[in-house]
Amino acid sequence: AGALARIYQWERCDQPQRSLFLNETGTESEILTLSEIRPELLTYYRVPATSGVPEVNTGADADAVGSLPLLPPPDVSEGEGAANDDGPDDPDDNVVALPWAARRGKTNLHVQRFVSLFNQTAPDENRWQVFSDFVHMAACSLYNALHRDEAFEADYMRRVGRYSREDANNMSCLLAEVIQGLEFCPTDFLGQIFMNLELGNARHGQFFTPYNVSHTMAQMTLSDGLPVLTSGERDFITVSDPACGAGGMIVALAEAMLEAGFNPQKQMMAYCVDIDPVAAMMCYIQLSLMGIPAIVATGNSLTVEIKREMATPMFVLGHWHYRWQAERTRQAA
């Protein structure tokens, strides 16, 4: 991890040394890093299930550049068997992926997969209507997992009834792409797609902030808010976005808190408002999938007219309603 931290220039914001680990890492960590970025430099061992003698495999360019010393091959006579129990030809099951921080800035292939599948879904229908139905249906599914609201269920059935069985199945596959896209790297996934598909309302000034800008703004905002958590003055902070769009700013705040060493699931509560129901549903989907305690409202922030409020699953499961009320009572005292 320390080797990866140096390569990707990760920093800790909660420690004076500004490095992931104080001690230098050893050869094992360097080899782990090289296996990700320069696998051709490594000579690796694989122990067949039928023999205790390791087979030596060398990368294509290993002879040209020289091989590095490696860890000794695993001792198959000790300990439990490997996680791969499917046979020698199957890939190992115990493969660990890099954290999402290492994937920041890389191409998220799930964006293109979403767009491609979306264009195949009900191609003869208005694209804005199809996208609107998708986000409403996805939000209803997530919301009713806990709330069991009959009005939401009726809205879901009304919308899904417009589509064929194949198109309805594509809707669930679209949600799977959203989940995998957010798992790949925290970002304004739906907001980016919404703008790429040119579904925004330009007359209403509906232009979503690029995520890298939101992330920078989040770091600047939290520089004033996090000291109250560090000092113990408060157990959590509250954030509000009166024109939340797809929730990219709240996602960026959660990511910035993680980078600073705090847990946004336990130390941040968000209240989001947007006048556009489609934007509010996109926000609800993303904050729900990322486990952020939040209330997402559809309404006008200027006139304080709220038509609907939706609590994310993490808000309900974390009993944030009581925590929020207790904090407001404490501040008013």
**pLDDT over 90 at 99, yes or no:** no
Q: What is the mean pLDDT of the chain?
A: 79
Reported as a single tens digit per residue, the pLDDT across 141-192 is 999 988 888 999 999 999 999 999 999 999 999 999 999 999 888 889 999 9
- Residue whose structure tokens are 């976005």: 241
| Mean pLDDT value across residues 248-262 | 91
Q: Which residues are 308's β-sheet partners?
A: 298
Cα 55 to Cα 3: distance, rounded to the nearest angstrom: 28
In the chain, alpha helices (H): 2-8, 27-37, 62-65, 109-120, 127-143, 150-160, 165-184, 189-196, 211-225, 227-230, 248-259, 264-267, 277-289, 313-317, 320-332
Query: What pTM value is reported for the model?
Result: 0.69
Query: How far separated are the first and last CA of the chain, in Å rounded?
Result: 46
Per-residue pLDDT band for 113 (boundaries 50, 70, 90) equals very high
**pLDDT over 90 at 136, yes or no:** yes
Structure confidence at residue 39 (pLDDT)? 67
**pLDDT over 50 at 4, yes or no:** yes
Q: Where is pLDDT greater, at 135 or 80?
A: 135
